[in-house]
Amino acid sequence: MTRLAAADDIAVDDLRIVERTPAWTAPLHTPGHQLVFVRRGTFGLRLRSSGTLRSAEATVDPVSAFVGRPGDEQSIAHLPGREDACTVVSLGPQLAAELLPGRLPDTLRTSGRVDMAHRALLARARQGADGFELAERVVHLATGLLRDPVRATAPGDTPSHRRLAEAAREVLVTDPAFDGLDRLARLLGVSRSHLSRVFRAETGETLTRFRNRLRVRAALDRLADGDRDLAGIAADLGFADHAHFTRAMRAEVGDPPSRIRRLLGGEHESSSLAPGSRGRSRHDHANLERPNGE
């Protein structure tokens, strides 16, 4: 865990995890109110809410986030030897009371715009943004995550279907450029029609849609790490060409790769601060969201 920024009742941490075994970790108590965004990897998550007997188990990946409250117990199970990365946003009690509803799903699925707001917060924390800006970004991020979540169907009651969907997710998270539905089905030992039908029933979206969302997340990760080669990123992640990459990025986060590259590199006037603000013009976005009237 690396602390990137802290101000008043907000903290932003970069969490990197490498485990030697796939075993579940011993339960750990959440120290306070947290929003946790998965940036890279996939892992099992067990949550037990404080003060109740309710517990849940889920698989999370780069289109996932979850909320921790003081005293919650968390256990995780990672694939051995692979680094998983998360962003942990800690909230003080007063801000948590303002932002977090009393009841929440165990895990949430993030839209592209919410994930972009998360990446922008992370970038600005690394770049030394002041507490005022960080607080505003956290408020917008939490609002977008909790009040307009990506809707998903509830997992079915068939364990074999749930395992199949999780296995497909794991393959695509590990390699977002994975090509060929037939190849994926053969790898998992089922037919294409069965895999497609089960995945959609278990997750609420198609394999194609899920893979596109993962590819955009992987591109955001590389841009955030300083990769400036847009053509190389597009090719590595399986996009047909730069135009295909641009269309996918626009559809998922609302901006083209060139603008995202500037944002994550330090030019923070993007429309991505406020998820869900689709109705404003680009001029309105810039005026509203350029910190300190810059």
Query: DSSP per residue over 120-185, as a string?
Result: HHHHHHHTT--HHHHHHHHHHHHHHHHHSPBP-PPP-S-HHHHHHHHHHHHHHHH-TT---HHHHH
Residue 265's pLDDT is 80
Residue 213: which H helix or E strand, with range?
helix 207-224
Backbone angles phi, psi at 2, to 5 degrees: -120, 120
Which amino acid does the sequence have at 287?
N
Token representation of residue 165: 């969907």
Is residue 197 a contact partner of residue 156, using CB atoms and an 8 Å limit?
A: no
Residues 6+ apart with CB under 8 A from 160: none
Backbone angles phi, psi at 263, to 5 degrees: -60, -55
Residue 247's pLDDT is 95
Other residues' Cβ atoms within 10 Å of the Cβ of residue 172: 21
Q: How many secondary structure helices (H) and strands (E) does the chain include?
A: 11, 10
Is residue 236 a contact partner of residue 108, using CB atoms and an 8 Å limit?
A: no
Is residue 207 a contact partner of residue 199, using CB atoms and an 8 Å limit?
A: yes
For the chain, the farthest-separated pair of C-alpha atoms sits apart, in whole angstroms, at 56
CA 91/CA 141 separation, integer angstroms: 12
Residues 6+ apart with CB under 8 A from 27: 46, 48, 73, 74, 75
CA 77/CA 44 separation, integer angstroms: 5
Exposed / middle / buried, residue 134 (Cβ in 10 Å: 0-12, 13-18, 19+): buried
The model's pTM is: 0.84
CA 144/CA 140 separation, integer angstroms: 6
Residue 14's pLDDT is 96
Exposed / middle / buried, residue 61 (Cβ in 10 Å: 0-12, 13-18, 19+): buried
**Which residue ranges in the chain fall short of pLDDT 70?**
50-54, 148-157, 266-294
Residue 110's pLDDT is 92
